[in-house]
Amino acid sequence: MAPYSSIILISIMIIEKLYRQKGMGKLTKNRWVFMAKRRRRRSKRKSNDAIFIIALTLILYVGYILYKATLGVIDFIDWIINQILNWTIFEWFLWGSLTFGLIFFIIKFKKYKYLKQKQRIEHQQKVKIRRSGNMERLKTMDPFDFEEYIAVLFKLMGYEEVTVTRKSGDGGKDIIFKKGNEICIAECKRYNSPKVTRPDVQKFHSALIDMNAKEGFYITIGNFTKPAVDYVLDKPIHLIDGHRLLSLIEEYSDEIT
């Protein structure tokens, strides 16, 4: 029994040792994984630290360059001030003349560009007026396009701040513009019916009074009835029928070849 017991005891000890080794193996494997993860975290942290150091170095370098550039500008300004303070009377006169001449040239150049642009716009407006300056085109024109067309004509006639009002609810004033400091208004009717009546003109006269306008223009491609013509004889209202409208179009677009 003793040898048998010894064998059993030795077997138990061997099994226990193997079990412990297996457990240590698991522990060693887990420890390896843990250490690998920790190394990756350390590597990532080192990488972030390196990026931060590089970025900080670049920022400091750029700041240094800007600082030196600022010092250079300040030194240059100081040099200019010292030079100016040491100018002779002749140098003051010379540089003053050059400065005045440069300012004068800039003003003239801007004025020249403005006039050229104004002439180009006027030419385009005259072309637009001439192309549609016949009765057949005017009769088929959209009512709002007709108002825009008449607005361009008033610009060519020398009126300022010409504005076309909304398509509806204008209260008898399709176009508002100025003659000097005085307000003027216009009503545009591309009537299908041939004649504008006195009640139409009376309504326009009310709008003229409400706007406190100096003059009013009633434009149509048709004609006005005699009562309408008689009504405006003592009022600041100009009636422009189709014939008169074509004459104005020809007059203010005659420079186009």
Confidence at residue 190, expressed as pLDDT on a 0 to 100 scale: 79
The segment with the largest mean pLDDT, out of 2-11, 91-100, 248-257, is: 91-100
Confidence at residue 27, expressed as pLDDT on a 0 to 100 scale: 45
Query: What gap in Å lies between CA 110 and CA 91, rounded to an integer?
Result: 29
pLDDT of residue 243 exceeding 50: yes
When comparing pLDDT for 167 and 21, which is higher? 167
The position carrying tokens 């600041």 is 236
Query: What gap in Å lies between CA 164 and CA 241, rounded to an integer?
Result: 20
pLDDT of residue 208 exceeding 90: yes
Query: What gap in Å lies between CA 48 and CA 40, rounded to an integer?
Result: 12
When comparing pLDDT for 7 and 251, which is higher? 251
Average pLDDT in the chain: 78
Confidence at residue 69, expressed as pLDDT on a 0 to 100 scale: 79
Confidence at residue 50, expressed as pLDDT on a 0 to 100 scale: 74
The residues that bridge with 238 in the sheet, in sequence order, are 217
- Find the mean pLDDT for residues 18-32: 51
pLDDT of residue 4 exceeding 50: no
Q: How far is CA 66 from CA 63, 71, 73, 80, in A?
A: 5, 9, 10, 21
Percent of the chain topping pLDDT 90? 21
Q: Which two tokens stand for residue 97?
A: 């003349």
Confidence at residue 170, expressed as pLDDT on a 0 to 100 scale: 54
Query: What gap in Å lies between CA 129 and CA 152, rounded to an integer?
Result: 8
- Compute, in degrees rounded to 10, the torsion defined by CA atoms 27, 30, 35, 38: -140
Tell me if 221 sits within 8 A of 250, measured CB to CB: no
pLDDT of residue 197 exceeding 50: yes
Give 174's contacts (C-beta < 8 A, 6+ positions apart). 147, 150, 164, 165, 186, 187, 188
When comparing pLDDT for 138 and 118, which is higher? 138
Tell me if 136 sits within 8 A of 167, measured CB to CB: no
Confidence of residue 193 (pLDDT cuts 50, 70, 90): low
Confidence at residue 226, expressed as pLDDT on a 0 to 100 scale: 95
- Find the mean pLDDT for residues 244-249: 88
pLDDT of residue 71 exceeding 80: no
Half-sphere exposure of 195 (CA within 13 A, CB side): 9
pTM, full prediction: 0.53
Query: What gap in Å lies between CA 95 and CA 80, rounded to an integer?
Result: 13
Confidence at residue 257, expressed as pLDDT on a 0 to 100 scale: 36
Structure confidence by residue, pLDDT tens digits, 135-191: 778 888 888 888 988 998 898 888 999 999 876 555 668 999 998 889 999 999 876
Domain 132-252 is of which CATH architecture?
Answer: 3-Layer(aba) Sandwich (3.40)
**Could you state, in order of their start, the residue ranges of all structural domains in the chain?**
13-86, 87-120, 132-252
